[in-house]
Amino acid sequence: MRIEGTSVPILIYLEAVFSWGFSVRAPGTSGGGPSLPLPPPSTLLGAVAHGVARVMGWREVEEGSSPVVKLAPYLLAAATGIIEGSAVPYIDLMRYLAVPFMRKENVAKPAMWFGALGFGTVYAAGSLIAVAIVLSDRVLGFIPLNVLKAAAGSVVRLGSREGITHVVKSWVGRVDEVKGGGTRGSLERRGM
C-alpha cells in the first residue's frame, strides 16, 4: 500500500553472464594491486549509465560531467551477488615496457626499461551475476522508463572494459511491482 504524498522508487534488475570475469580497483588506488571481490555500486551504476548514454545520444564526457555523474544523484541503493558459479580473486603478474613513457635521461639506462606489476582480477567465467539498482522516481523526469529498460538490457561490461558480460534477463519498474523473492546481494549482516 502506498502512502499518499510519497514516491515509489524505480528498480533496475538484471542477470548477466561473465565472459571471463572482471577487474575493479578500489577508489584512489593505482593500476596494480587486488581487485574488489564484487563490483561496487558505482560500477553497477556505471554499467547502466553507459547504456543510457548510448540510447540518449550523450557523449562519454560532456561539460565536465559523465553519464554516471548525471545518474548518481538519483541512486538510492545498489547490490550484486553471484547466483551461479564462482568468483575467484587472483593477481596476475604483468610485465611492461616503460621506454615510451620515460624521460630522455632515463632511456639510456636499460635496467629501467622494464617493470612488473601485480594486476588484480576476479575470474568468474560463465558465472551468473545478479545486479539490483534502486533509483529515486525523480529520475523519470530526466530519463524515460523505456530508456532505462533498454539500458538494463544492453549492459555489456562490469568493471574494466575487458569485463565483458551478456545480459540474460532484465526488468525495470516500480519497486512496489516486485513480487516475492530473496536476496543473495552483498549486504552486511549486523547483530548476529
103-161 tens-digit pLDDT: 888 888 888 888 887 888 899 999 999 999 999 999 999 899 999 999 999 999 988 87
- What helix, strand, coil percent values describe the chain, rounded to 5? 25, 35, 40
Rounded Cα distance, 89 and 124, in Å = 9
Q: For the chain, how long is the longest CA-to-CA vector? A: 74
Q: What CATH number matches the domain at 10-176, 2.60.40.10, 3.30.360.10, 3.40.190.10, 3.30.70.3120? A: 3.30.70.3120
Rounded Cα distance, 117 and 182, in Å = 40
Question: Residue 186 above 60 pLDDT?
Answer: no
DSSP string for 29-64: --SSBPPPSS--HHHHHHHHHHHHHHHHT--SSBTT
The pLDDT value recorded for residue 112 is 81
